[in-house]
Amino acid sequence: MEGGIQERLLDSGKEGDLKGRICQESKKIWRVALPSVISRVTSFGTIVVTQSFIGHLSSEDLAGYALVQTLLVRFVNGILIGMSSATETLCGQAFGAKQYHMMGIFLQRSWLVDLITLTILLPVFLFATPIFKLLGEDETIAKSAGYISLWFILFCYALVFSLTIQMYLQAQQKNIVIAWLSVMQFVLHVPLSWLFVNVLDFGIDGAMGSLCISSWFVVFGEFIYIFGGWCDESWKGFTVAALKDVFPVVKLSISSGLMICLEMWYYAILVLVAGYMKDAEVAISAFSVCININGWEFMICLGLLGAACVRVANELGRGDAKAVKFAIKVILSTSVALGLIFWILCLVFGKKIGYVFSNDENVAQTVSDLSILLAFSVLFNSIYPVFSGVAVGAGLQATVAIVNVVCFYLIGLPIGLILGYVTNLQVKGLWIGMLCGVITETLALSVMMWRINWDEEVLKASARLKRWYLETPDEANQATNPA
């Protein structure tokens, strides 16, 4: 009997210890994830608000905005987010290894790489109208898209700084300032859009001007925070050391870019395909509305992706493989729970969503028809981004990029095209194909994560940090003049 009591007490102790570990890990996760979720949701919210204002101007401009935002901006944004995720990997591992001064150097390298990349991609925006005409889009929509795309150039240059700085700050768990700036951005953007569009009657110029102003507001706030001395350990000022070892960073950035791009372009290609269907204006508008709603929820998952990246990178930098595995389990459980909540919300309110973005009855009805599929997309969105974040934290972006190609482009896209055109399911068929790709991606990444040897990843992270380490001025002086 005494033995049974001791066993129960031991089990109770283990259970209590497990609950304590889960609580501690959850605190670490949400310290990174909550500010990241807030900033991503509000930042993406400005894009959705702009779409709503433009949608009430004209259906042609709504379709033009949808083409630019879901095709060109996703194309460029995917590259920038992906290449910036190299900053997330390197800064996270450097912070875990207490190489704080290297974080500022990695940030400056990412600015250099991303600014050059975006400048090379500018023709995509400058020649948007002929590009869309060449792709067979309606001429009126293509002209509207071409004009709107010029405004997005300013927006994308703001992204270069806001994305990299966010990853730099969240790696050292200082991204609460990003959350506050993003909330202030959203609070500024809504009345500014109303003033420019409804009061001053600036039309598209007013809506897009408001988006650019609110985006750069965040960037200037971030500069003040970093240069003002709030990151004194990790920011030592501008240095030529940022020009060293640029090519290895470019290599990691490219693999990171491919991983994220292949996910984001998948949705963009489907919007493009929707433009070839019957009543293209309605198809593009409805599909883009659903993708933006899906994308808004995806921003929350990207916050957890960031948390997964930071926690995995930090623990790899510290050399603790067991802590990595435990962090993954807690983050995944949290993300799935949130996904279930949004799945229910989409099922309940799905038939009313379309009217928020358009007065067109056909657009609203098409969105309503997609609501059930949208709900399941939201649910699976809560799983695979966490695995992508784990991959970024471990520097496994190239492997995930291959998985993305197979699941999204060799499975999901062909299924969507067949169902959309051959079986005449139209937009609904495209979305079913997209969902098949997402489900396959989730299963593939689940198997991949199960098979990773985290002890080996710890050794790889240590070798990478040693290879790119640069001495601080103090360390260089001590080496030159030993006591």
pTM of the full predicted structure? 0.72
Could you tell me the pLDDT band of residue 9, with boundaries at 50, 70 and 90? very low
Distance CA 365, CA 278 (A): 15
pLDDT in tens, 85-123: 777 777 877 887 788 888 888 899 889 888 988 999 999
Could you tell me the pLDDT band of residue 477, with boundaries at 50, 70 and 90? low
pLDDT in tens, 377-433: 888 888 888 888 887 777 777 788 788 888 888 998 899 889 888 887 877 888 888
The CA angle 292-294-298, to the nearest 5 degrees, is 105
Distance CA 426, CA 344 (A): 25
Distance CA 46, CA 100 (A): 33
Distance CA 66, CA 363 (A): 13
Residue 30, Cβ density class (10 Å: 0-12 exposed, 13-18 middle, ≥19 buried)? middle
Distance CA 348, CA 338 (A): 16
> Who wins on pLDDT, 7 or 471?
471
Q: Which amino acid is at 397?
A: Q
Residue 325, Cβ density class (10 Å: 0-12 exposed, 13-18 middle, ≥19 buried)? middle
Distance CA 430, CA 416 (A): 4
Segment 273-277 shows an average pLDDT of 69
pLDDT in tens, 316-374: 878 888 888 898 889 889 888 888 888 888 888 767 776 666 667 777 777 777 778 88
Number of alpha carbons in the 13 Å side-chain half-sphere of residue 316? 34
Other beta carbons less than 10 A from residue 45's beta carbon: 18
Indicate if the pLDDT at residue 27 is higher than 90. no
Q: Cα separations (Å) of 219 from 34, 68, 163, 225, 457?
A: 20, 23, 9, 10, 34
pLDDT in tens, 280-298: 667 667 767 777 777 777 7
Distance CA 310, CA 358 (A): 39
